[in-house]
């Protein structure tokens, strides 16, 4: 079973001062799939996401990644196992160039990160690989641009390149399309589709078109609970899902 599902949760629950943000969520993410987590505002998607990447500690339940219990692991250790996340607010290092952004990720795997007595020119050996990764996401011409000066959509692409530099097995994308224009959405969607050939992807996304086009499986969350799970076509027929999205109180 560990082979078929790369990530599983059992009875995942998170309580904030009496408020159950996530309750008894059981997820099974199939290896190699694009799995989307959707739901109205406040459904607990981001909380769920932060639990999976260990940025939050669950109140109850278990998280199993590649057959290994990661429930009480530190976030940096989870990342080292190949489970890497992105952030809702674009997560780049603003005053490093695009190349340096990617290089920081490459550097982690190859050691020397505590060497304060060596020149950083030893990092130049990562440049070819970093350039390759930038090219993969269409950022070649931005290599020497500081991340802070790049357009928003390009920052997201840079973030993905940085994540790919870690050679992860599974990527967790937190609203990869948030705040993007149409053109950028298409580009990033195509990019996600392309990289999904090699990686398992779990994403939280508001844009239902994107979800419909990209995902293999969709889990709908409301009020911290799993409401439904399946492919997009089935879910659109589900009355409960319609109600959750359109019903009173959710707008």
Q: Considering only 33-41, 80-88, 203-211, 231-239, which stretch makes contact with other proteins by CB under 8 A? A: 80-88
User: Which residue, 4 or 115, has its beta carbon nearer to other proteins?
Assistant: 115
- Residues 223, 243: Cα–Cα separation, whole Å: 13
Determine if 130 is a binding residue for other proteins (CB under 8 A).
no
- Residues 17, 105: Cα–Cα separation, whole Å: 36
Burial of 95 (0-12, 13-18, 19+ CB in 10 A): exposed
Which residues share a beta bridge with 30?
A: 5
Among residues 67, 140, 141, 148, the one that binds other proteins under rule CB under 8 A: 148
Among residues 112, 190, 231, 246, the one that binds other proteins under rule CB under 8 A: 112
- Residues 84, 73: Cα–Cα separation, whole Å: 14
Angle subtended at Cα 102 by Cα 71 and Cα 141, rounded to the nearest 5 degrees: 145
What tokens does 196 get? 């999904």
| Nearest residue to 96 via CA among 107, 85, 110 | 107
- Residues 25, 227: Cα–Cα separation, whole Å: 10
Among residues 28, 30, 80, 223, the one that binds other proteins under rule CB under 8 A: 80
Q: Binding pattern to other proteins, positions 43-62, x when CB under 8 A? A: ----------x-x-------
Determine if 166 is a binding residue for other proteins (CB under 8 A).
yes
Q: How far is the CB of 125 from other proteins (least distance, A)?
A: 11
Q: Which residue has the tokens 């987590």?
A: 37
Among residues 57, 68, 72, 95, the one that binds other proteins under rule CB under 8 A: 95
Touching other proteins, residues 174-193 (CB under 8 A):
none
Contact set with other proteins (CB under 8 A):
53, 55, 74-77, 79-80, 84-87, 91-97, 100, 103-105, 107-109, 112-120, 122-123, 144, 146, 148, 162, 166
């Amino acid at each position: 079973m560990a082979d078929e599902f790369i990530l599983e949760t059992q009875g995942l629950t998170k309580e904030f001062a009496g408020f159950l943000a996530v309750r008894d969520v059981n997820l099974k993410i199939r290896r190699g799939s694009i799995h989307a987590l959707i739901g109205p505002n406040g459904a607990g998607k981001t909380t769920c996401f932060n639990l999976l990447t260990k940025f939050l500690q669950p109140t109850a339940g278990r998280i199993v990644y590649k057959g290994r219990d990661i429930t009480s692991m530190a976030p940096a250790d989870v990342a080292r196992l190949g489970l890497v996340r992105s952030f809702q607010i674009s997560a780049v290092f603003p005053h490093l160039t695009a190349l340096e952004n990617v290089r920081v990720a490459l550097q982690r795997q190859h050691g020397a990160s505590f060497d304060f007595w060596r020149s950083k020119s030893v990092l130049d050996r990562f440049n070819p690989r970093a350039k390759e990764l930038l090219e993969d996401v269409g950022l070649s011409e931005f290599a020497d641009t500081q991340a802070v000066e790049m357009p928003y959509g390009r920052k997201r692409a840079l973030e993905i390149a940085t994540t790919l530099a870690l050679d992860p097995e599974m990527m967790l994308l937190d609203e990869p399309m948030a705040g993007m224009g149409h053109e950028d959405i298409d580009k990033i969607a195509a990019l996600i589709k392309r990289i999904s050939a090699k990686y398992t992807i779990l994403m939280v996304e508001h844009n239902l078109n994107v979800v419909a086009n990209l995902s293999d499986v969709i889990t709908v969350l409301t009020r911290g609970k799993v409401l439904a799970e399946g492919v997009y076509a089935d879910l659109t027929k589900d009355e409960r899902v319609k109600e959750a999205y359109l019903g009173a109180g959710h707008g």
